[in-house]
Amino acid sequence: MKLKDKVVVITGASQGLGKAVALKVAREGAKVVLVARTEKLLKEVKEKINKDRREAEYFVCDIRDSDAIKKTVKRIFEKFKTIDILVNNAGVWSDEELEINKPEGRKNVVETNALGHINFTYEILPYFKKRNRGYIFNVISTSGVGDIPDGNNAAWKSYGASKWAIAGFTKALRDELKGTKIKVTGFFPGGFESNLYANAGRKNPHNQPWMMKTEDVADVVLFAMTRPEDVLIEKIVVAKM
Ligand SMILES: NC(=O)c1ccc[n+]([C@@H]2O[C@H](COP(=O)([O-])OP(=O)(O)OC[C@H]3O[C@@H](n4cnc5c(N)ncnc54)[C@H](OP(=O)(O)O)[C@@H]3O)[C@@H](O)[C@H]2O)c1
């Protein structure tokens, strides 16, 4: 699909992968809708895109709040009239050792990584169905891949639960939309450089040997989005060599 003039909504676009994808799709000529909680960072991304004479707007929204999602989607439609692609990317990490006595950390990962994506999708899905067109791209994680090897999962029990939840939703949604022209992709990256781990208070959150470059991961997202309309990539798993 050519992204020129397509309206691409990206949750978690204030930093990390969401920001990298936003900058890339803007360069392809898309109208980029940036969603996250931190206005200062969103504004910086918007200004960077606008400086390149590309179109972007930001909407401050906490995706754990279903009313806020409803209002945000309404405002997006008011401003852009249409939505072509939804990238459900916002996410938080919860480190089990740090969160062991903090149920709010576990609540946060499930509400953000699973329920937030589900609610955002439901707000836009009726429109996609009416048009019989649209693309839902769910950023999951290798921790949500069913066949991940044993012995590597202890640190991400709640995080993994949130990612398995959204992986299940992604699969079921694709089943529901079979026979329509609405695409659904599940994206399962391994670790990459971002503020995800620092934001969760993890020790040594940057420059680890197991981390891919954010740019490289964003390139894979762009590849999936720019396939022809009749080519569906159901699932992508990417990992560091
Ligand atoms: N980094 C990795 O190793 C890795 C590996 C596999 C999968 N992933 C997944 O990739 C996605 C992007 O993560 P990242 O690594 O780029 O992390 P990041 O740099 O921490 O970015 C996360 C983004 O999500 C937003 N966000 C968090 N909670 C939110 C909420 N309640 N409402 C709205 N926005 C919210 C953040 O913005 P605000 O704080 O401004 O709201 C930020 O823009 C996540 O789904 C993550 O689970 C990451």
Whether residue 108 is contained in a domain is answered as yes
CA distance 60 to 33: 11
For ligand 1, is residue 36 a contact (CB within 6 Å)?
Answer: yes
Q: Can you give the pLDDT at residue 203?
A: 85
Domain that holds residue 166: 7-238
Q: What does the alpha-carbon distance between residue 112 and residue 123 come to, in Å, rounded to a whole number?
A: 15
Which of 65, 89, 138 gets mutated to test ligand 1 (max ligand atoms within 8 A of its CB)? Answer: 89
pLDDT in tens, the chain (241 residues): 899 999 999 999 999 999 999 999 999 999 999 999 999 999 999 999 999 999 999 999 999 999 999 999 999 999 999 999 999 999 999 876 666 667 888 899 999 999 999 999 999 999 999 999 999 999 999 999 977 777 767 778 889 999 999 999 999 999 999 999 999 999 999 999 999 999 988 888 999 999 999 999 999 999 999 999 999 999 999 999 9
Express each pLDDT in 84-122 by its tens digit.
999 999 999 987 666 666 788 889 999 999 999 999 999
pLDDT at 95: 77
In a domain, 121, yes or no: yes
CATH of the domain at 179: 3.40.50.720
Q: Is residue 95 part of a domain?
A: yes
| Domain-located, residue 2 | no
20 falls within a domain: yes
Q: Is residue 1 situated within a structural domain?
A: no
For position 106, what pLDDT does the model report? Answer: 87
Q: Say how far apart CA 212 and CA 119 lie, in whole Å.
A: 29
**Active-site annotation holds for 4:** no
Residue 172 in any domain: the answer is: yes
DSSP percent split of the chain into helix, strand, coil, nearest 5: 50, 15, 35
Within a domain: 100:
yes
Amino acid occupying residue 25: V
Number of domains in the chain: 1
Q: Measured in angstroms, how far is the CA atom of residue 105 from the centroid of ligand 1?
A: 14
208 lines ligand 1 (CB under 6 A): no
* Three-state secondary structure call for residue 233: coil
